[in-house]
Amino acid sequence: MLDIRFVRENPEIVKQNIKNKFQDSKLPLVDEVIALDKEKRETQQLADSLRASRNKLSKEIGGLMRQGKKAEAEEVKAQVNAQSAQLAEAEAKETELDAKILKIMMTIPNIIDKSVPIGKDDSENVEVQRYGEPVVPEFEVPYHTDIMEKFNGIDLDSARKVAGNGFYYLMGDIARLHSAVISYARDFMIDRGFTYCIPPFMIRSEVVTGVMSFAEMDAMMYKIEGEDLYLIGTSEHSMIGKFIDTIIPEETLPQTLTSYSPCFRKEKGAHGLEERGVYRIHQFEKQEMIVVCKPEDSMMWYDKLWQNTVDLFRSMDIPVRTLECCSGDLADLKVKSVDVEAWSPRQKKYFEIGSCSNLGDAQARRLKIRVNGKDGKYLAHTLNNTVVAPPRMLIAFLENNLQADGSVKIPVALRPYMGGKEVILPKK
């Protein structure tokens, strides 16, 4: 969310940013919110004037009563009562205007970084760099659920009976591999200086609206019936929420945290062939990283965060690339974002396995996350990035480590988490 003063003083910058994000329908909101802000400030001035006048008149009443001028005192009391009614009306109007302004300000997108490529949607995202050599083996690589079924590692039919589409049972070596990757990712981030955390898996609405746009909320979040609670779509939500309405001593920054959680998502919309199986699901587990830092450090941390994911996947022999998200593909709160994509030998293309985002001070402004610095208080910057998110990550792992005989090799880094196994063998 932007500062209303910035919008007021830089309307053309805000409008151009909206155009760059191809959200022209929001252009009228800029002039509308500026007009509402002007009306609100005028109302506020009137309220302040009425309060000052009321206070002055109230003091006069006491003086007149002490002088025995009861009739005059009653006249002044009538003025006070009239002004009190005017003040109540002004305060009610001020509250109404505040709500209207906030609603619009929550809709106007954040200012994107100058380095972000301009494009309409994800088809115009820009490849930055590749890490590792993509390999297409001579043998055919089966669909990921077919690989898992060879290990008796997945049961989708039972999951449909129990919970419907978009759920799964992982079994045996595949389930163990899933847990091994999560544990390895946890230790990988701890070794890089991040503090491990297990957060709440439900959050209140004020946190939801603090960490994401209304559009994202509607598309992702599951609401708990009858309670002000939502299931988290990613632990970033509750991890950033941890700092709601806090003043952080500057000397304690940066706050670098890595968190484990299950994640729950509606995943609205129809999905194509490559989104069958366990690519898009309603429930999965994830290791996340978040940073709360000083504004001048946020781009440095942005580069560190996505590099962590690249390094993790390369340590498991999975080729990856980074893809800069264009303006039209950025969620409204994001300043800059890069997707990390893994190589799929079966599809002969890359697919997304994580996303790193710098949100500037947007979440901090909504959640009142402030820093107490030597020159006063200011808003922190927040960033987040996926460390690893099985089972989507399992697709990349299985395809890239599959052998011609149907076995799957276990990279050296992961073997301690798989009981020392160098390979897992199919059951069928």
Q: Are 339 and 33 in contact (CB under 8 A)?
A: no
Q: Which residues contact 50 (CB under 8 A, 6 or more apart)?
A: 83, 86, 87, 90
Residue 314 and residue 107: Cα distance in Å, rounded? 38
In sequence order, the β-bridge partners of residue 386 are: 288
Task: List pLDDT tens digits, range 281-304.
Answer: 899 999 999 999 999 999 999 999
Q: Which residues contact 202 (CB under 8 A, 6 or more apart)?
A: 224, 229, 230, 231, 232
- Residue 71 confidence (pLDDT): 78
- Residue 268 confidence (pLDDT): 60
Q: What number is the average pLDDT over the span 129-142?
A: 96
Task: List pLDDT tens digits, range 233-260.
Answer: 999 999 999 999 999 999 999 999 999 9
- Going by C-alpha positions, the residue among 140, 131, 191, 187 that lies closest to residue 342 is 131
Q: Are 353 and 389 in contact (CB under 8 A)?
A: yes
CATH number of 122-424: 3.30.930.10
- Residue 176 confidence (pLDDT): 97
Q: Name the pTM for this structure.
A: 0.90
- Residue 270 confidence (pLDDT): 42
Question: DSSP per residue over 284-327, as a string?
Answer: EEEEEEEEEE-GGGHHHHHHHHHHHHHHHHHTTT--EEEEEPPG
CA count, 13 A, side-chain hemisphere, 11: 12
- Give the H or E element holding residue 71: helix 70-105
- Residue 272 confidence (pLDDT): 45
Flag whether pLDDT at 146 surpasses 60: yes
Flag whether pLDDT at 273 surpasses 50: no
Task: List pLDDT tens digits, range 172-203.
Answer: 999 999 999 999 999 999 999 999 999 999 99
Task: List pLDDT tens digits, range 10-33.
Answer: 999 999 999 999 999 999 999 999
Flag whether pLDDT at 269 surpasses 90: no
Ranges of each domain in the chain: 4-105, 122-424
CATH number of 4-105: 1.10.287.40
- Residue 397 confidence (pLDDT): 97
Judge if 4-105 and 122-424 fold alike in CATH terms: no
Residue 54 and residue 60: Cα distance in Å, rounded? 10
- Residue of higher predicted confidence among 54 and 330: 330
Whole-number average pLDDT of the chain? 93
Task: List pLDDT tens digits, range 358-412.
Answer: 999 999 999 999 999 999 999 999 999 999 998 889 999 999 999 999 999 999 9
Flag whether pLDDT at 158 surpasses 80: yes
